């Protein structure tokens, strides 16, 4: 039993990274037949380093020409990613699935292994950066089983091994099904992913003991925009201009202003780089080849940073948050406009169809036979009451209630009755119709109701 356990345990141990296993041979044959290259850029010297995975030949290219500077062991440096580290002034070769890390001194042509790990082969397609202390930070990738949404750190604590960043909560978001586009660390981590036709930009913010990913903004995006030579670039180093980050090809994101913009150009851009030794200039590396199968077509063009951003055309991409705010603003404006139009129409209709024009000095009554005016105070007071009843859709009022509103209990009952009857008769005579009449209540014969005949009024149906 012990022998069996030892036998099974031996299969769980990682193959030594210097062994040439069957998979390495298969990879080499594929890379040799497909002319697979890896490209790194030294922004201080404006040199491109181009490594052929199938042959192991390393070239240096600049605007003066191309030179083959070395041939490395293609079985040792096989499926790799490369980056020029301006801090150490060396090329770094990092296993494409993470694991082994090599430094290559381009001046003395010396290759040195710096890790104490092995081929992880689980993080192909990662995105990363090297911080000023020389530590490598990577996000994501995929390998034997599932895509990853992990942050790994190499050499941060000096062990020369890969460690998982455990202060960032990855339990819920980002999803492992999001395609990671770029990864950056300033004061906080920034992560740019593509998911369901959107670019999602997140920042890791402190939430007590852990950091949580918070969405800064989302933008509608076409998958075709993520294709081309810029997708080859795995590291975000040298692509930040103050707070403006060139995260892929011709796209720039303002980390502080949360603004995404696209450089309008016909060039096929590999990357826009800011040399650490000169913060006043930038270099644009572009190629005539869509997928960089022929990386020797790369060209380099330099600009003053101020001139580049002021003299080129940039198209601002509207965020989903801004799009939603604009939609809600338009919707709110439309609702206000509709309500205003309805109110104006109703007021105009009411103004045009109301047969009573009542002021403190007179009353104008529009009848089907013409207009009749009244100017005595008691007449104005009565028509104010009639106008309120008309607007409320009522054509009657109790006599006692009308007397109370008209005379407010002042005077004797007989005096009030006389004045009121004279007023009714005068109005009816002026209008030429029995506009105001009295009748007994149907529920209580002792009570009287005053009824107004609106049928004589103009526009009344």
CATH number at residue 113: 2.120.10
pLDDT at 341: 84
pLDDT at 238: 94
Task: Output the CA–CA distances (angstroms, integers) from residue 239 to 215, 269, 296, in the order listed.
Answer: 21, 13, 22
**Domain at 396, CATH number:** 3.90.1150
Compute the distance between CA of residue 175 and CA of residue 193 in angstroms, rounded to an integer. Answer: 10
Task: Give domain status of residue 335, yes or no.
Answer: yes
In terms of Cα–Cα distance, which of 355, 270, 259 is closest to 39?
A: 270
Same domain, 218 and 132: yes
Task: Give domain status of residue 1, yes or no.
Answer: no
Predicted structure pTM score: 0.68
Same domain, 112 and 243: yes
Same domain, 55 and 147: yes
Q: Euclidean distance between the first and final Cα of the chain, in Å?
A: 105
CB atoms closer than 10 angstroms to residue 98? 26
Task: Give domain status of residue 8, yes or no.
Answer: no
pLDDT at 411: 66
Angle among Cα 236, 303, 224 to the nearest 5 degrees reads: 50
Domain end (from 261, 289, 316): 316
Whether the CB-CB separation of 246 and 284 falls below 8 Å is answered with: no
Task: Give domain status of residue 461, yes or no.
Answer: no
Same domain, 180 and 158: yes
Compute the distance between CA of residue 121 and CA of residue 307 in angstroms, rounded to an integer. Answer: 43
Same domain, 205 and 346: no
Domain of residue 333 covers 318-353
In terms of Cα–Cα distance, which of 174, 184, 260 is closest to 217?
A: 260
pLDDT at 221: 86
pLDDT at 100: 95
- DSSP one-letter code for 177: T
Return the beta strands (E) in 178-277 as ranges.
179-185, 189-195, 198-207, 210-220, 240-241, 244-248, 251-254, 259-263, 268-273
Same domain, 268 and 326: no
pLDDT at 24: 63
C-alpha torsion angle, residues 115, 121, 126, 128 (rounded to 10): 0
The position carrying tokens 């890790």 is: 115
- DSSP one-letter code for 16: P
pLDDT at 232: 79
Same domain, 206 and 308: yes
Same domain, 68 and 191: yes
Same domain, 255 and 304: yes
Please report which residue ranges of 20-140 form alpha helices under DSSP H: 22-34
Q: In what order do the strands lie in the sheet with 101-105?
A: 80-85, 90-95, 101-105, 110-113
Whether the CB-CB separation of 272 and 282 falls below 8 Å is answered with: yes
Sorted by sequence, the CB contacts under 8 Å of residue 287 that are 6+ apart come out as: 229, 268, 270, 295, 297, 298, 299
pLDDT at 73: 93
pLDDT at 15: 43
Domain end (from 353, 374, 402): 353
pLDDT at 354: 83
The position carrying tokens 């009848």 is: 367
In terms of Cα–Cα distance, which of 198, 306, 314, 197 is closest to 250?
A: 314
pLDDT at 350: 52
Domain end (from 333, 353, 373): 353
Same domain, 54 and 198: yes
Domains: count for the chain: 3
Q: Which neighbouring-strand residues pair with 59? A: 50, 68
Give pLDDT < 50 ranges for the chain. Answer: 1-18
Sorted by sequence, the CB contacts under 8 Å of residue 129 that are 6+ apart come out as: 136, 137, 183, 184, 185, 235, 236, 237
Query: Tokens in use for 229?
Result: 């030579």
Same domain, 90 and 131: yes
Task: Give domain status of residue 166, yes or no.
Answer: yes
Task: Give domain status of residue 160, yes or no.
Answer: yes
In terms of Cα–Cα distance, which of 140, 37, 153, 136 is closest to 97?
A: 140
Sorted by sequence, the CB contacts under 8 Å of residue 71 that are 6+ apart come out as: 55, 56, 57, 58
Specify the 3-state DSSP secondary structure of 405.
helix
Same domain, 103 and 138: yes
- DSSP one-letter code for 224: G
The position carrying tokens 């103004």 is: 351
Task: Give domain status of residue 169, yes or no.
Answer: yes
Task: Give domain status of residue 6, yes or no.
Answer: no
In terms of Cα–Cα distance, which of 107, 92, 197, 210 is closest to 154?
A: 92
């Amino acid at each position: 039993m012990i022998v069996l356990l030892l036998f099974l345990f031996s299969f769980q141990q990682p193959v030594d990274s210097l062994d040439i296993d069957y998979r390495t041979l298969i990879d080499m044959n594929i890379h040799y037949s497909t002319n697979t290259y890896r490209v790194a850029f030294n922004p201080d010297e404006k040199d491109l380093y181009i490594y052929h995975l199938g042959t192991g030949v390393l070239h240096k290219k600049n605007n003066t020409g191309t030179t083959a500077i070395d041939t490395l062991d293609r079985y040792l440096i096989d499926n790799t990613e490369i980056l020029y580290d301006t801090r150490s002034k060396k090329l770094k070769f990092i296993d494409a699935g993470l694991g082994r890390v090599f430094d290559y001194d381009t001046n003395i042509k010396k290759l040195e292994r710096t890790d104490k790990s092995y081929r992880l082969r689980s993080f192909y397609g990662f995105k990363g950066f090297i911080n000023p202390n020389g530590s490598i930070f990577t996000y994501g990738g995929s390998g034997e089983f599932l895509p990853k949404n992990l942050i790994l750190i190499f050499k941060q604590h000096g062990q020369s091994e890969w460690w998982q960043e455990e202060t960032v909560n990855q339990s819920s978001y980002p999803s492992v099904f999001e395609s990671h586009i770029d990864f950056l660390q300033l004061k906080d981590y920034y992560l740019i992913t593509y998911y369901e036709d959107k670019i999602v930009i997140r920042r890791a913010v402190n939430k007590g003991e852990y950091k949580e990913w918070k969405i800064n903004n989302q933008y509608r995006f076409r998958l075709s925009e993520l294709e081309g030579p810029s997708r080859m670039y795995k590291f975000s180093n040298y692509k930040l201009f103050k707070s403006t980050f060139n995260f892929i090809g011709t796209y720039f994101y303002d980390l502080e202003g949360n603004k995404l913009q696209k450089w309008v150009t016909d060039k096929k851009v590999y990357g826009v780089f800011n040399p650490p030794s000169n913060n006043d200039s930038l270099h644009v590396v572009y190629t005539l080849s869509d997928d960089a199968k022929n990386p020797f077509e790369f060209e380099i063009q330099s600009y003053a940073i101020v001139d580049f951003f002021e003299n080129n055309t940039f198209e601002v991409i509207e965020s989903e948050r801004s799009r939603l705010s604009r939609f809600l603003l338009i919707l709110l404006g439309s609702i206000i406009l509709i309500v205003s139009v309805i109110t104006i129409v109703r007021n105009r209709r009411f103004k045009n169809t109301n047969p009573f024009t009542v002021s403190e000095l007179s009353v104008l009554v529009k009848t089907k036979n013409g207009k009749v005016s009244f100017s005595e105070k008691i007449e104005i007071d009565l028509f104010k009451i009639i106008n309120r009843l008309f607007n409320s859709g009522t054509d009657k009022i109790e006599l006692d209630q009308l007397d109370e509103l008209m005379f407010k209990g002042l005077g004797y009952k007989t005096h009030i009755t006389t004045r009121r009857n004279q007023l009714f008769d005068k109005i009816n005579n002026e209008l030429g119709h029995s506009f105001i009449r009295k009748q007994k209540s149907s529920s209580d014969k002792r009570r009287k109701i005053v009824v107004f005949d609106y049928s004589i009024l103009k526009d009344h149906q």
